[in-house]
Structure 1
């Protein structure tokens, strides 16, 4: 059987899915994380169960892509049981989606999650009265503490064929009693006027579409003038019944019923935690919020460098020892000089050089995961809303940009949460300007070599420049295509909470796993390829200065010279970086005669020799700046094409990013050359 998990963002749905399947999915305390359905399978109670985790959604009205994904799957014949994951601490908001699901006429089981938070607040929920009013099983669970999981699946299995609600008991007064005898059939009953229209539309649908499933739900959608349903099921004479959109009426009456439910089932209802209100008073303050955000990100990069550099010493020592042992071992075996060069100067120098930055990368991943799970990151979209509105976008567009600090691929995919196609394209265009974790080794290497006393500040400036450049580009695009944000920002600000160590570990584990897999595949292959083209030329194996790589690099020098990067080694490293940004660093290790980038002494010597070539602090800063802004990695380019379904737009994005990178680096280098 197939069970679909659906619920509001931040209701614990993905955590519940992880608890069942053991999947290490991305879990974060902010909306827009699960942007497509994720599937898994388990065997329980003697049944093979196919589990589907759907994107978080507040309703089944298809405005955003995530809502469309959820609605289309729920309406398909693939679902046997719907598990509606409800945040028990925010019952009033979550029940709106529940009432919509009940109207689908499919088996529904309510998973009442986060009961531990309800208990902490001194609230109580009447677990006998709530299922009486909804007509479906209501199972209390705690996804985080893994309580009630077996009972929930047991209820889903036994509720599989229950398409009609269980016993409904409503205590309506004479004023709210309806002449229609629908209370024994439906949890949600509307006013007499709406019920009359629903009955008329159902009769018209039965006549026109005799094989249609769930006439009541389709009638409601026609009353709401839902574009998809109206187009798919046209009715002759419908204008006599649907003289306007009744969506607002339906919404208001649903919330009236929800208020009735809350009054009957919730005891000692508390307001949102005072600590969250107090924190938001400061952290989302109109004047303080952005300086606080910049300070928080500054702390993130202080920890990334301060703690990461301490741990990096151990990795550097390990790589040095490995390189010595590899050289000695190959020499003792009588290996050829070419093989020794390939292993030591190519593979170990390239891949090993990247692995030494793992501590810094891990610290960055941990701090970002803590911010996400604490609830702070969702505030960033809120505090950026005013700025983004002036750029023709809502604050929600800033979420993919923030995700870009981790990796551009999921960041591009997260643009699906935007309702407008134009907004999605504009967001995808500038998201690669955010400094992804793959660029961090470049910053660490060059800031450590040329700005040893101020390495953290120099690297942090790259992240700020990325944000500023993205916002300026959006501003210029909006000037050419004047547009005000046509949708207000609707985003949940979850309560601040202590980050879950398990959630943080899952997030960091997946990112580190991806980083290591890139080191073992793309970077490994790139290091070997780079060694090959640098050690072979038209005359065979020999001098690097006459190799294929040198010939190619010199061909690129005229393009890079005006921006201070007119060295064939640098040109070739940047070209190789298109495969993956870490390859710039691994290539650098191979390009400069297998230099040991794990050795502080070797790097100081290299910086001095590069200085004699004319490569100064200004050139190093331009190198980092261009690496920040130029073409994203191949995986990001492929994702842009997959999301836009257009090679033309993908090519335009690549050209746009190269142009922005070249122009800004040119301005910095030419200005710096004249000033210094």
Structure 2
């Protein structure tokens, strides 16, 4: 950090609104990386206020600073070692008692602190009356009431943080007394676990005393709107069918309702305007034939074959972000707990599976929230079966080409199949490789909230931006390489059937004959898909020398694919070895080449076996 920058660390419990506040403060002026040495996501953003250049660091959400999880270790180490100028502790005003436990621990670290009392509107609606002045006096720390989702109190919060950064920080007499009691018990007790329990009890005893002086809680606990909605959404029998309907609507929205409308417009622009214009421009300046072919048939066909699906990706992430921001995603883990326990896992293990619908990389990283190492390894190994957004272009194109009008049903069936295979394989693992006792499932269900349009836009843009970056780098490079291997061999330029690529494809094509697509074009496309699944489509666009429209593909592929083999091809793409980015994160998270190689190899076998069954049985009926 630059010396003239003020560094503010955001700390808070999960579901306290910390991410909402971070987005409200930084907007698009943020970047995401990893904390040094670990794969936990690190977010930083910049803001300028009151003449100050401010860096906002979003610490991992945690309930305490006990050194038991990576998130807790990172949060504590940053405050202690990096010494931010101010710690802004976000506290859920509607769940103040539990949130203040982390607040006390943060204050004990001795850094200037400001408490952001968030969700004041929710607390008020539940009948809480908080005397902020008394609470501030008891804790000896500035407290600013905010509603982060509406941007209320955010500027006042930053102003208070700026003032706190130059003020003398001193613990309240109550917290000093609490620290002294804790030290006495540590000296007296040889059992560290027992000492921790006593410290926890003393802390909550102190918090209860503070709350009695400054907070009036409702005398009767009445059912909230969240409780009433949860009666249906988390119902023992209705919960899973409702979730299935929501996921079906997600695909209906992604394809029929919105996505495909924009696809056609982008496809028309590329095929009818961009490609002819670029080709004409290169001819006008005397471009060589090989250069025109590289740009038009290689780069534009390859990259264009992927970017036309941006509307579908954006729609999918919109729906996923909507489920996350409203609080429904936590309910999904709850309602799936019983089903997950059938394979020896708990409901928390289903969250990485849902996150995998976007990208398997952060989904696999999120498995570190699982307490059991065996559960975590199981979740890592089955997660790539959950279809990520990179596979979506393949499904979209093949479904539109071979199943016009029924795309949403076909794609929904693939996503459902991926989850079913993941659960089945997980069951096999828990009965063989990873036998273990069940771990308890403890998760807080946050209240339902109306999502912020700004936050939704930021989430969608973050994912679409990543998709565009892949198109402009990885897929761009792959398209150039593919153009070369499909146009040359050792003797120089040749027809595509005599190229390097055709030779490689012909060697491995027989492996796929029992699956219904034993041609070199499909084989080579699948091989290159290990780089990135989107490359499967860009490869086919280059191989067949066609545009990106579904009609063009249907015509070109009708000689090599039937309805059954086209579906079997999509099944194979769904299940086979993931892209190099996922392989890399499996290696980092397992810290084992053995499990990484096993992961890629067994997924390849499962994909071949299931796709073979689909084709062989399907061919009996169609």
Matched, 1:257 2:232: no
Contact 1:629 1:658 in 2 (8 A): yes
Equivalent position SS for 2:559: helix
- Tell me the CA shift for residue 104 of structure 1: 3.4
In 1, Cα distance between the equivalents of 2:532 and 2:192? 57
Q: Deviations over 1:275-313 (max 9, x none)?
A: 211110111011111111111100000111112112222
Aligned counterpart for 1:88 among listed residues 86, 89, 93: 93
Runs of 5+ unmatched residues, structure 2: 1-5, 33-38
In 1, Cα distance between the equivalents of 2:618 and 2:439? 42
Question: 2:36 matched to which residue of 1?
Answer: none
In 1, Cα distance between the equivalents of 2:602 and 2:15? 36
- Tell me the CA shift for residue 498 of structure 1: 1.6
Q: Deviations over 1:534-586 (max 9, x none)?
A: 11123321211111110010011122222222110000001111111111011
Contact 1:25 1:506 in 2 (8 A): no
- Tell me the CA shift for residue 607 of structure 1: 3.8
Matched, 1:630 2:615: no
Question: 1:234 matched to which residue of 2?
Answer: none
Contact 1:65 1:419 in 2 (8 A): no
Runs of 5+ unmatched residues, structure 1: 28-33, 169-182, 203-222, 224-237
Matched, 1:280 2:254: no
Aligned counterpart for 2:611 among listed residues 633, 655, 665: 665
Q: Deviations over 1:603-637 (max 9, x none)?
A: 34224333xxxx21111111101101111111111
- Tell me the CA shift for residue 384 of structure 1: 1.2
- Tell me the CA shift for residue 591 of structure 1: 0.9
In 2, Cα distance between the equivalents of 1:283 and 1:378? 11
- Tell me the CA shift for residue 659 of structure 1: 1.6
Contact 1:393 1:484 in 2 (8 A): no
Equivalent position SS for 1:662: helix
Deviates more, 1:56-65 or 1:297-306: 56-65
Contact 2:31 2:45 in 1 (8 A): no
Question: 2:362 matched to which residue of 1?
Answer: 410
Question: 2:150 matched to which residue of 1?
Answer: 145
Equivalent position SS for 1:446: helix
Aligned counterpart for 2:244 among listed residues 256, 276, 294: 294
Equivalent position SS for 1:139: strand
Q: Deviations over 1:190-222 (max 9, x none)?
A: 9xxxx3x733746xxxxxxxxxxxxxxxxxxxx
Equivalent position SS for 1:655: helix
- Tell me the CA shift for residue 142 of structure 1: 3.0
Aligned counterpart for 2:73 among listed residues 68, 74, 87: 68
In 1, Cα distance between the equivalents of 2:203 and 2:319? 41
Question: 2:564 matched to which residue of 1?
Answer: 618
Normalising by structure 2, report the TM-score: 0.91
In 2, Cα distance between the equivalents of 1:309 and 1:482? 43
Question: 1:605 matched to which residue of 2?
Answer: 555
In 2, Cα distance between the equivalents of 1:201 and 1:290? 48
Matched, 1:185 2:188: no
Question: 1:654 matched to which residue of 2?
Answer: 600
- Tell me the CA shift for residue 431 of structure 1: 1.0
Matched, 1:507 2:459: yes
In 2, Cα distance between the equivalents of 1:243 and 1:597? 64
Contact 1:131 1:138 in 2 (8 A): yes
Question: 2:304 matched to which residue of 1?
Answer: 352
In 2, Cα distance between the equivalents of 1:200 and 1:529? 67
Question: 1:327 matched to which residue of 2?
Answer: 279
Equivalent position SS for 1:128: helix
Aligned counterpart for 2:215 among listed residues 247, 259, 266: 266
Aligned counterpart for 2:331 among listed residues 379, 383, 398: 379
Residue 131 to residue 609, structure 1, CA distance change in 2 (3 Å)? same
How large is the RMSD of aligned CA atoms in angstroms?
A: 2.6
Equivalent position SS for 2:149: coil
Contact 2:186 2:192 in 1 (8 A): no
- Tell me the CA shift for residue 244 of structure 1: 6.9
In 2, Cα distance between the equivalents of 1:510 and 1:664? 34
- Tell me the CA shift for residue 4 of structure 1: 2.2
Question: 2:3 matched to which residue of 1?
Answer: none
- Tell me the CA shift for residue 24 of structure 1: 5.9
In 1, Cα distance between the equivalents of 2:20 and 2:322? 16
Matched, 1:198 2:198: no
In 2, Cα distance between the equivalents of 1:496 and 1:524? 42
In 2, Cα distance between the equivalents of 1:673 and 1:401? 31
Question: 1:134 matched to which residue of 2?
Answer: 139
In 2, Cα distance between the equivalents of 1:184 and 1:117? 28
Aligned counterpart for 2:588 among listed residues 642, 645, 653: 642
- Tell me the CA shift for residue 84 of structure 1: 1.4
Equivalent position SS for 2:517: coil
Matched, 1:433 2:385: yes
Alignment of 1:17-28 (within 5 A): 17-23=22-28
In 1, Cα distance between the equivalents of 2:224 and 2:193? 42
Equivalent position SS for 1:111: strand
- Tell me the CA shift for residue 51 of structure 1: 3.3
Contact 1:406 1:437 in 2 (8 A): yes
- Tell me the CA shift for residue 80 of structure 1: 4.3
Q: Deviations over 1:354-411 (max 9, x none)?
A: 1221222221121111111111111111111122223222211111111110111111
Contact 1:14 1:25 in 2 (8 A): no
Question: 2:170 matched to which residue of 1?
Answer: 164
Contact 1:35 1:417 in 2 (8 A): no
In 2, Cα distance between the equivalents of 1:132 and 1:299? 50
Contact 1:111 1:138 in 2 (8 A): yes
Alignment of 1:227-626 (within 5 A): 239=190, 242=191, 245-267=194-216, 269=218, 271=221, 274-306=224-256, 307-321=258-272, 322-481=274-433, 483-484=435-436, 486-592=438-544, 594-598=545-549, 600=551, 602-610=552-560, 615-626=561-572
Deviates more, 1:383-392 or 1:40-49: 40-49
